[in-house]
């Protein structure tokens, strides 16, 4: 056994006269190491996920487990089978995480999701990634919640993945809020070890209002005083990202243009969103796709031509006011309980809510408002972090920020 500096500690008991002191001290050092090791593993995960260098990278590499990717499998759902991939730690695992990506064309092949799955597998989790087909089409629908429920039902019934009949459920971005909804459904309430919403929402109608107006329907002053979320005092609201407004327009295309124009406008918005996704991994391909969409806009009839031009110009200030009355009219839509955690039955499992302070796709106040709503109804742990943007651990921050995030992940890793 070694101390934190890497030197042997057995020299503490070299003589009989010192042994009375050395043995208790050795026990304390051993206990300290056992207690500290899980936090070290949590910190190592953060270092890997954030791409930290220097000493942090060395610790991350030291504590990393090797893993492999299993061949693709098909997971049955009520709307047909969906592809899934399992990341298998070489040293074995005691808990499988069902990891659901957000709104992205690439689904389980999306580069950031793959990186997160690998980082989690290196931490010792089995990781099963599954994508909801509607989210791959940039659509947020009740079918997404159904897919999550069905995936949990299937995975928790596989002894290979869930020896105790339970899985951890992790949802990214809009999958985060939908995972909280799914985890509260009667069929899987007892099959979820915990649920983590990473950059997720509490109320979809409230998020859509924000995306179209830049306004948050909630008491920000009260939110900053929340005791349910660490870091709530830093909650902030920024101008909404054009990506989220484009997704909203795609979802509502049939309400803003004549029926005969819906398909053509949707094709254009889909192309813009594809280019936005490519911009993170293939700049040249993204540039070509953006240019193609600019050439496409003038071929559309009005009003689709103007709307597509606004999308291409990232004109949130022009698109937002057009969509806002429609969005606000949907707040009491019958589908909202399937799409909003604040309107659904809370899960029986512990709920973890993690959010980037400066998120401008789903504002961080969503985590605070959801945590306050759940307080007293469920076990909830929340954190706003400066290390996170929307749904990535990719920023540098103070030691306090790193420690807070390590504590938060330590809680998850103990489940």
Q: What is the CA radius of gyration of the chain?
A: 23
Q: How far apart are CA 126 and CA 70, in angstroms?
A: 11
Statement to judge: residues 187 and 81 lie in one domain: yes
Statement to judge: residues 20 and 146 lie in one domain: no
292 domain-assigned: no
Statement to judge: residues 217 and 75 lie in one domain: yes
271 domain-assigned: no
pLDDT score of 399: 67
Written as one string, the DSSP assignment of 171-235 is EETHHHHHHHHHHTSTTTTTTEEEEEEES--S-HHHHHHHHHHS--SS-HHHHHT-SSEETGGG-
| Mean per-residue pLDDT of the chain | 83
CATH, residue 114:
3.40.50.1820
Considering only CA atoms, which of 65, 2, 73 is closest in space to residue 36? 2
Residue range 82-95: mean pLDDT, rounded: 94
301 domain-assigned: no
Structure tokens given for 197: 């919403």
376 domain-assigned: yes
Which of 5-19, 117-131, 149-163, 268-282 is modeled with the greatest confidence? 149-163
Structure tokens given for 274: 């594809």
- The total number of structural domains that make up the chain: 2
Where residue 10 falls among pLDDT bands split at 50, 70, 90? Answer: very low
Statement to judge: residues 140 and 181 lie in one domain: yes
Where residue 14 falls among pLDDT bands split at 50, 70, 90? Answer: very low
Domain range for 45: 10-63
Statement to judge: residues 46 and 75 lie in one domain: no
Statement to judge: residues 111 and 91 lie in one domain: yes
Q: What angle do helix axes 16-50 and 111-122 make, rounded to 10 degrees? A: 170
Cα separation values, 398 from 116, 369, 402, Å: 22, 25, 6
Statement to judge: residues 134 and 231 lie in one domain: yes
Statement to judge: residues 40 and 160 lie in one domain: no
Where residue 405 falls among pLDDT bands split at 50, 70, 90? Answer: confident
Statement to judge: residues 180 and 224 lie in one domain: yes
| C-beta neighbour count of 38 within 10 angstroms | 15
What percent of the chain has pLDDT above 90? 60
Statement to judge: residues 19 and 118 lie in one domain: no
pLDDT, tens digit (0-9, with 9 covering 90-100), for 186-233: 999 999 999 999 999 999 999 999 999 999 888 888 888 888 898 889
- 38 pLDDT higher than 70: no
pLDDT score of 373: 94
pLDDT score of 64: 56
Statement to judge: residues 28 and 93 lie in one domain: no
323: buried, middle or exposed (CB in 10 Å: 19+, 13-18, 0-12)? buried
264 domain-assigned: no
- 32 pLDDT higher than 80: no
Structure tokens given for 43: 């910190």
- 277 pLDDT higher than 50: yes
pLDDT, tens digit (0-9, with 9 covering 90-100), for 40-83: 454 444 444 444 444 444 444 444 568 899 999 999 999 999 99
pLDDT, tens digit (0-9, with 9 covering 90-100), for 158-180: 999 999 999 999 999 999 999 99
pLDDT score of 11: 29
SS3 60: helix
- 292 pLDDT higher than 80: yes
pLDDT score of 22: 42
Q: How far apart are CA 394 and CA 284, in angstroms?
A: 23
Statement to judge: residues 146 and 218 lie in one domain: yes
296: buried, middle or exposed (CB in 10 Å: 19+, 13-18, 0-12)? middle
Instruction: Give the global pTM.
Output: 0.83
23 domain-assigned: yes
171 domain-assigned: yes
pLDDT, tens digit (0-9, with 9 covering 90-100), for 140-149: 999 999 999 9
CB-based contact 184:197 (threshold 8 Å): no
245-277 in b/e burial notation, b at 16+ Cβ within 10 A?
A: bbbbbbbbbeebbeeebeebbbebbbbbbbbbb
| C-beta neighbour count of 413 within 10 angstroms | 18
The strand pair at 229-230 and 351-356 is best described as unpaired
CB-based contact 366:207 (threshold 8 Å): yes
- 31 pLDDT higher than 50: no
Where residue 317 falls among pLDDT bands split at 50, 70, 90? Answer: very high
2 domain-assigned: no
pLDDT, tens digit (0-9, with 9 covering 90-100), for 301-313: 999 999 999 999 9
Where residue 398 falls among pLDDT bands split at 50, 70, 90? Answer: low
Where residue 97 falls among pLDDT bands split at 50, 70, 90? Answer: very high
């Amino acid at each position: 056994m070694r101390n934190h500096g890497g030197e042997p500690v057995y020299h503490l008991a070299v003589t009989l006269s010192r042994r009375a002191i050395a043995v208790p001290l050795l026990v304390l050092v051993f206990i300290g190491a056992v207690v500290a090791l899980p936090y070290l593993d949590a910190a190592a995960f953060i270092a890997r996920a954030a791409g930290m260098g220097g000493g942090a990278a060395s610790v991350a590499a030291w504590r990393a487990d090797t893993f492999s990717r299993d061949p693709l499998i098909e997971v049955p759902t009520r709307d047909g089978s969906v592809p899934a991939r399992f990341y298998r730690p070489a040293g074995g695992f005691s808990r499988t995480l069902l990891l659901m990506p957000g709104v992205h064309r690439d689904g389980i092949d999306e580069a950031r999701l793959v990186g997160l799955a690998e980082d989690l597998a290196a931490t010792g989790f089995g990781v099963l990634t599954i994508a909801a087909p509607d989210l791959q089409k940039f659509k947020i629908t009740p079918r997404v919640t159904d897919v999550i429920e069905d995936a949990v039902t299937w995975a928790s019934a596989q002894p290979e993945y869930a020896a105790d009949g339970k899985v951890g459920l992790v949802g990214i971005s809009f999958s985060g809020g939908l995972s909280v909804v799914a985890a509260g459904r009667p069929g899987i309430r007892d099959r979820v070890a915990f649920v983590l919403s990473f950059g997720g929402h509490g109320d979809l109608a409230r998020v859509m209002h924000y995306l179209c107006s830049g306004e948050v329907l909630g008491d920000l002053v009260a939110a900053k005083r929340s005791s349910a979320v660490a870091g709530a005092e830093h909650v902030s609201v920024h101008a909404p990202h054009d990506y989220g407004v484009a997704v909203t327009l795609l979802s509502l295309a049939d309400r803003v243009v004549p029926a005969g124009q819906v398909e053509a406008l949707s094709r254009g918005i889909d192309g813009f969103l594809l280019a936005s996704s490519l911009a993170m991994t293939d700049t040249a391909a993204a540039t070509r796709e953006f240019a193609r969409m600019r050439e496409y806009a003038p071929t559309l009839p009005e009003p689709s031509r103007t709307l597509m031009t606004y999308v291409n110009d990232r004109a949130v200030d022009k698109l937002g006011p057009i969509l806002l009355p429609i969005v606000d009219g949907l707040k009491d839509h019958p589908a909202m309980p399937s799409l909003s955690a604040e309107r659904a039955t809370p899960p029986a499992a512990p709920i973890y809510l993690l959010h980037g302070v400066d998120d401008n796709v789903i504002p961080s106040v969503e985590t605070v408002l959801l945590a306050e709503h759940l307080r007293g109804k469920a076990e909830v742990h929340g954190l706003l972090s400066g290390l996170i943007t929307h749904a990535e651990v990719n920023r540098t921050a103070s030691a306090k920020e790193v420690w807070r995030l390590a504590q938060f992940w330590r809680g998850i890793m103990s489940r």
